[in-house]
Amino acid sequence: MKPAPAGSAVALWLARCLQQAGLPDGVLNVVLGGRATAEALMADPAVDAVTITGSLAAGYAAAEACARRCIPLQAELGGNNASIVWADCDLDSAAALVAEGAFGFAGQRCTANRRAIVQEDCRDAFLDALGERVRALGWGDPHQASTQVGPLVSAAARARVASLLARAVPVASRIAAPHLEVAASRETPRGEAFLAPTIVCCDDPSAEIVQHESFGPVLVVQRARDFEEALALCNGVPQGLVASLFSRSEPLRQAFLRRARAGILKLDRSTADADAEAPFGGWKASGIGPAEHGPSNREAYTRVQSVYR
């Protein structure tokens, strides 16, 4: 296992836990380093297959390296995941689930709720409920049990997301950070890696803030006049990892299940989280090769061989 440099301490901690649990020596080896280390591992003749979780650029590099050696690749490359919120759903429940899905772990998970596509008729009501739910999320020290939104992994990651938000100002109709709106009544977290959970309303589907996966505590809210437009917006990004729909309408549910272009679909649930026993794989720019988890791991970690007698 070669973790991202910023996650090196976590990887070593996990390896120690597995060793203490009885995993035999040599089954898991942790190699620390950056891009050059990853490239060396993928080029090593002793490596028979590669599985990677990372950016699209990392996936392209891995695909080239594995193609040169004709070895299998399993790549999970993130998602710009959307929840469609329709007027017939329980808006308060939807707001609560989307808020936690967007901002839990400071948005640093590939399944995080990056976008909310909201029916025009209920957009204002949803935004009001969303603001209240976001404001109620515990933001601060990750060592505290009550914290739901901690810091980003580094000051550099925080600066990257803050720069994306700054570039969104000209195209957004509204940018709100509910925690900062009540900063006088609570202590604002200190530290270079903290960024307040931020809601960005943007109706330009081509805008960078819409098309780019922030991988931070940012939720983009898009307006949809009808369900056709909602599906087009949902599918209108390069990635296709997770999509969800909040609606009681069975026809809308069936249309969503047929036409949403993502590897994981959910009904009345946030896009965040996934069951470890179910296949986990994205469409379009969200994945290369077989899915992760469940029966898909057998496909990824074995090779088919036919024997004639």
- The token duo for 85 is 């919120």
- Is residue 186 over pLDDT 80? no
Examine residue 41 and state whether it is found in any structural domain, yes or no.
yes
- Is residue 185 over pLDDT 70? no
What pLDDT was estimated at residue 52? Answer: 95
Answer whether 0.75 is exceeded by the pTM. Answer: yes
Instruction: State the pLDDT confidence band at 256, using cuts at 50, 70 and 90.
Output: very high
Cβ atoms 42, 50 nearer than 8 A: yes
* Ramachandran class of 182: left when φ > 0, alpha when ψ lies in -120 to 50, beta otherwise: alpha
Domain identity same for 71 and 86: no
Q: What CATH number does residue 127 fall under?
A: 3.40.309.10
Examine residue 236 and state whether it is found in any structural domain, yes or no.
yes
Identify the residue whose tokens are 């009345």: 268
Examine residue 258 and state whether it is found in any structural domain, yes or no.
yes
Q: How far apart are CA 60 and CA 82, in angstroms?
A: 24
110 catalytic per annotation: yes
Q: Which domain does 185 fall in, by range?
A: 81-267
* Ramachandran class of 70: left when φ > 0, alpha when ψ lies in -120 to 50, beta otherwise: left
Which of 110, 201, 202, 234 does the annotation list as catalytic? 110
What pLDDT was estimated at residue 297? Answer: 86
Instruction: State the pLDDT confidence band at 245, using cuts at 50, 70 and 90.
Output: very high
Domain identity same for 219 and 260: yes
Domain identity same for 135 and 259: yes
Domain identity same for 107 and 224: yes
What pLDDT was estimated at residue 183? Answer: 59
- Is residue 184 over pLDDT 60? no
What pLDDT was estimated at residue 35? Answer: 93
Domain identity same for 37 and 128: no
How many angstroms separate the most distant Cα atoms in the chain?
A: 79
Please write the tens of the pLDDT for every residue from 10-38: 999 999 999 999 999 999 999 999 999 99
Pairing, β 287-288 against β 73-76: antiparallel
SS3 of residue 21 by DSSP: coil
Please write the tens of the pLDDT for every residue from 261-297: 999 999 999 999 899 889 999 999 999 999 999 888 8
Strand extents, DSSP E, 144-226? 174-176, 198-201, 218-224
Identify the residue whose tokens are 């836990």: 17
- The token duo for 23 is 């995993």
